[in-house]
Chain A
Amino acid sequence: MSKSYKENAPISAERLMDELIRLKRGSVTRRHFLGVTGLGLASAVLARETGLFSTPAFADDLGKQMSIATWPNYHDPATFEAFTAATGVAVEVNVFGSNEEMLAKLQAGGTGWDLFVPTNYTISTYVKLGLIDALDMAKVPNYSASTETARFTAEGVVDGTTYAVPKNWGTTGIALNSSKIKAPVTSWKDFFEVAQGEADGRAMVHDYQLTTIGNALVSLGFSFNSIKPEELAKAEELLIRVKPHLYAINSDYQPGMRAGDAWMTMCWTNDGAQLNRDVPKIKFVLGKDGGEIWSDFYAIPKSAANKPAGYALLNYLMDPANAVKEHIANGAPTTDSRVLSLLPKEVTSNAIVYPPETELTPLEFGAAVTLTDPARAEVMARFKSA
């Protein structure tokens, strides 16, 4: 706080000391001194409000430090290093396992995040709770609405105002180690059966109500987003029956899958692409019976301490030249046709990243209600504590 105040203040520390010495010598009146320094303070406070004095054009307005909240294995570390080299702003990366956790941190306040990566179905709730800023699109000139795919960008716009711009889209499927699991796994029904059979003690589910409950619902023939008590009760029963056979309940499944401790897991596209790239025997399949399709967005919390840096990083990431490197590293499919045209053929032809449209048809976008529904939260908590 004090650090960024100093950097934003029009009056430098040296100047302040000069004024103080002038005051002590009696060269200026106390009134003059208070005027000069008081003005400095007032401007410093105003400078923190974006758009008055600070614009992204001035690198020295960005401070030295910013913080982003995102998902595990989701960025190319080189991107942040390059951003730091270009702007002098160091990026602190916080990773989370669920949207609930991000929401909980923002509700409690004092996160210090300047940019974060919420998933499509959470944005309307953030807007409703007044936790995120409407984006000042003038500060994100690299964003190009016309080249975006509407079905992935729609939820970033609430009542005609843009609150979030898309990072990438993806799916939630099944990653499995084909050298260990011989039974065919093509659906969530198969997933939960194999988890209790061939993959006993080796399967992982997310520590995340949306996907864990959602996929259990799908395996039973219900909607991924159901909040009907009788359907949730059946999903809970299934999850509690499967629990003793699970390897772990954890959203950070890459270490377990790579080490060979876990053989099968619920898995996001980008992780599936990374795992398959590095360990080819790990395959990624989508549930024939359904599952999740999603898009992740960038948004700026209302409580951000360094909004200029948040916008600067956002704009940097929206530059197709930078975004393309992110997509190659993290393996998630892009929503932006400018980026798609820059991506190498082996990425765009990867069926894990860009599956045929027919495989996407049974998938559902998460619904906003699942984020705040107390029944889903409680089913997850009872499953974990059972």
Chain B
Amino acid sequence: MALALNTKRRMVTAALVAPAVAWLFIFLVLPFIAMLVFSVGERAPEGGYQPAFTFAQFANLPARSAAFWNTVILAPVGSFVCLVVAYPVAYYLAVKTSPRYRLLLVSLVVVPFWTSLLVRTYAWMYLLGSRGIPNLLGMIGFEEVRILNTPGAVLLGIVYGYLPLMIMPIYVSLEKLDRRLLEASADLGARPVSTFFSVTLPLSLPGVMTGLALVTILLLGEYLIPQLLGGGKVFFIGNALVDLFLQSRNWPFGSAIAVTLVVVVVFVLLIAMRIAWKIAGTRQVDLV
């Protein structure tokens, strides 16, 4: 009887998990296998893919080293700037606001997600173009300032676009913070600044690590923001990929780059999780 119940329970579990497994298999595992197969192939004469077994595509990776380098620099820098901007906001939301307004303020952080990032990035194109902020700067004497299509504009777009993804995990970990620890710290004579650095910040680090990992990983595949705010001049590995599939039609080389990118992302994630575990002293991972 107990055994039958167990079997039944297992079957129910399997039935409940099956759609997710099927989904992941069809839309994640199969495409990845296709990508692996393509990455050892050759470009057909008219573009596309023809079967082969060669590592020439991987050997050619240095041809995109500039794009890899841009990505590897701008992704961590972007997520770090995000962190610097997001932490005070998250702190304010979690610790300083009265619970009455907290829900409202947290929703305000999320509201921009209701509009497509594409539309919001186009709005930035106008703001940063010469009829926007440079025009205002011109009125106070800074003539001919150009912001659009510079790495600075791309960084600004990145911080703007990914800020909510950084605020939320930090907010969650700060909200769980036990206020009595702060009181204890104050009772023991610590000033607010040293309380922050020896109590609040360490306890919120899992949230910080989650935010950093989340934003960095998404940035490694970023395409839209460099394309629109960088004028096609600030090139990320995501842009290199789009070009290889849509312009050069070199699927094997594109696949080799994509495979490499996946390996890099997994590597980044592993390191981030290691650090997070070490700091938190637990293997529990908060993903938002």
Q: Which of B149, B231, B233, B240 contacts A381 (CB 8 A)?
A: B240
Q: Are B244 and A381 in contact (CB under 8 A)?
A: yes
Q: Which residues of B contact A256 (CB under 8 A)?
A: 129
Q: Which of B22-30, B61-69, B102-110 contacts A (4 or more CB under 8 A)?
A: B61-69
Instruction: Give CA–CA (A201, B63) in the complex, Å.
Output: 26
Among A125, A384, A385, A386, which residue has the most Cβ atoms of chain B within 10 A?
A: A385
Q: Which residues of A contact B245 (CB under 8 A)?
A: 104, 108
Q: Which residues of B contact A104 (CB under 8 A)?
A: 47, 245-247, 249
Is chain A's interface secondary structure helix, strand, loop, or mixed overall? helix
Q: Which residues of A contact B64 (CB under 8 A)?
A: 381, 385
Q: Are B66 and A386 in contact (CB under 8 A)?
A: yes
B48 within 8 A of A: yes
Q: Which of A103, A105, A249, A378 contacts B231 (CB 8 A)?
A: A249
Among B47, B130, B131, which residue has the most Cβ atoms of chain A within 10 A?
A: B47
B8-62 residues with Cβ-Cβ distance < 8 A to A are 43, 45-48
Instruction: Give CA–CA (A129, B232) in the complex, Å.
Output: 30
B195 within 8 A of A: no
A330-379 residues with Cβ-Cβ distance < 8 A to B are 372, 374, 377-378
Q: Are B250 and A374 in contact (CB under 8 A)?
A: yes
Q: Which of A105, A129, A246, A259 contacts B46 (CB 8 A)?
A: A129
Instruction: Give CA–CA (A100, B233) in the complex, Å.
Output: 19
Query: How many residues of chain B have a CB within 8 Å of chain A?
Result: 29
Q: Which residues of B contact A381 (CB under 8 A)?
A: 63-64, 240, 243-244, 247-248
B258 within 8 A of A: no
A322 within 8 A of B: no
Instruction: Give CA–CA (A249, B154) in the complex, Å.
Output: 15
Q: Which residues of B contact A243 (CB under 8 A)?
A: 233
A136 within 8 A of B: no
Q: Render A76-114 as a binary contact track against B, CB cut-off 8 A, 1 for contact.
A: 000000000000000000000010110111011000000
Q: Which of A201, A207, A378 contacts B232 (CB 8 A)?
A: A207
B274 within 8 A of A: no
Q: Which residues of A contact B129 (CB under 8 A)?
A: 256, 259, 261
Which A residues have a C-beta under 8 Å from some C-beta of B?
A: 98, 100-101, 103-105, 107-108, 125, 128-129, 201, 207, 209, 243, 246-250, 256, 259-261, 372, 374, 377-378, 380-382, 384-386
Which B residues have a C-beta under 8 Å from some C-beta of A?
A: 43, 45-48, 63-64, 66-67, 129-131, 146, 148-149, 231-233, 235, 239-240, 243-250
Excluding A100-B247, A128-B46, 18 further A-B contacts by CB distance (< 8 Å) are A98-B247, A104-B47, A104-B249, A107-B48, A107-B249, A246-B231, A248-B149, A249-B233, A250-B232, A259-B130, A261-B130, A372-B46, A372-B47, A377-B247, A381-B248, A384-B239, A385-B66, A385-B235
The 3 closest A-B pairs by CB, nearest first: A248-B231, A377-B248, A249-B232
